[in-house]
């Protein structure tokens, strides 16, 4: 299934994209695609529905983030060796873990707002996934059974806030609009191998990032198992898995986002996002 949320910001409705690409309304079956909706048992109930029986939604409404509010927004840094190299940092021996504030979540095509005081705003196309079953100290072999589905994330990053001063990453990753997500979440049963997905990001029509999850240092299964040995992963937790090379910070000279810039990014099978950068 492809699950999405559509409508004006703050008033989104739950939806499903059928095999013909038609948006269908799920409101009669679930109030919202919140954290609880991504429980694997709840997804099985939705999967049993006949999509053609659901009301079609006409036009092209705005799409919101496909989960209304994750319980925790966890991120993995430096998870591609070539990205670590462009950042001038060693390949990590274990996953680099930080958080993004859940309040940074943004629709896949909503504007990215440059906050006051920002000087080095950057982009990062990433594969993200949602937890669908509580995970505590799970083995890697069983880890993927805890994943509800996969989606596209743009891990917007304010590099000065992230790296300079005290250098705490969460500070540069959490402002409003810094977490574009979607356009939908594709349930795990439709993704044969999360380590065989291509990623791209274009800035103003120029290709900046090209990569494949096959080159991730730590796979999705490894990430789930590793995190679950440190903390309980709850249903609805959102985890984004790192970015391939090509970010603005790594270019020579460095390049950062400015008002009017347009980012287009995506993962085949998981959809695309388009964001315009706007001044705060």
* H helical segments located in the chain: 40-47, 81-86, 140-143, 159-163, 220-228
Mean pLDDT computed over 116-145: 98
Distance CA 45, CA 129 (A): 20
CA distances from 29 to 13, 45, 52, 89, 238 (A): 11, 9, 14, 48, 23
pLDDT tens per residue across span 180-189: 999 999 999 9
pLDDT band (50, 70, 90) for residue 84: confident
pLDDT of residue 82: 81
Looking at every residue in the chain, the average pLDDT score rounds to 97
Q: What angle do CA 250, 227, 245 make, to 5 degrees?
A: 15
User: Looking at the predicted structure, is the pLDDT value of residue 279 above 90?
Assistant: yes
CA distances from 238 to 177, 224, 254 (A): 16, 11, 30
Distance CA 148, CA 131 (A): 5
pLDDT tens per residue across span 108-129: 999 999 999 999 999 999 999 9
Mean pLDDT computed over 200-225: 97
pLDDT of residue 271: 98
Which domains, from first to last, does the chain contain? 65-279 (3.90.850.10)
Instruction: Report phi then psi at 181, rounded to 5.
Output: -135, 140
User: Looking at the predicted structure, is the pLDDT value of residue 8 above 90?
Assistant: yes
**Residue 277 bridge partners (DSSP):** 112
pLDDT band (50, 70, 90) for residue 68: very high
User: Looking at the predicted structure, is the pLDDT value of residue 14 above 90?
Assistant: yes
**Has this prediction a pTM greater than 0.75?**
yes
């Amino acid at each position: 299934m492809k699950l999405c949320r559509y409508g004006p910001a703050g008033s989104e409705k739950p939806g499903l994209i059928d095999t013909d690409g038609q948006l269908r309304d799920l409101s009669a079956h679930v109030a919202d695609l919140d954290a609880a909706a991504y429980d694997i048992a709840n997804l099985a109930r939705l999967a049993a529905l006949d999509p053609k029986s659901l009301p079609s939604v006409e036009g092209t409404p705005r799409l919101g983030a496909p989960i209304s509010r994750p319980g925790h927004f966890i991120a993995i840094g430096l998870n591609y060796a070539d990205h670590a190299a462009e950042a001038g940092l060693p390949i990590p021996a274990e996953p680099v873990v930080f958080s993004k504030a859940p309040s940074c979540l943004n629709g896949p095509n909503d504007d990215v707002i440059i906050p006051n005081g920002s000087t080095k705003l950057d982009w990062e196309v990433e594969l993200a996934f949602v937890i669908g079953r509580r995970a505590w100290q799970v083995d890697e072999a069983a880890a993927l059974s805890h994943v509800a589905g996969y989606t596209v994330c743009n891990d917007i990053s304010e590099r000065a806030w992230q790296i300079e001063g005290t250098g705490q990453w969460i500070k540069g990753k959490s402002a409003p609009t810094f977490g574009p997500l979607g356009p939908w979440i594709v349930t795990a049963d439709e993704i044969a191998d999360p380590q065989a997905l291509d990623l791209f990001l274009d800035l103003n029509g120029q290709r900046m990032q090209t990569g494949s999850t096959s080159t991730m240092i730590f796979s999705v299964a490894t990430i789930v198992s590793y995190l679950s040995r440190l903390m309980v992963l709850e249903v609805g937790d959102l985890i984004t898995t790192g970015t391939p090379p090509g970010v603005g910070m790594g270019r020579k000279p460095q390049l950062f986002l400015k008002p009017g810039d347009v980012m287009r990014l995506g993962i085949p099978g998981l959809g695309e996002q388009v964001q315009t950068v706007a001044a705060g």
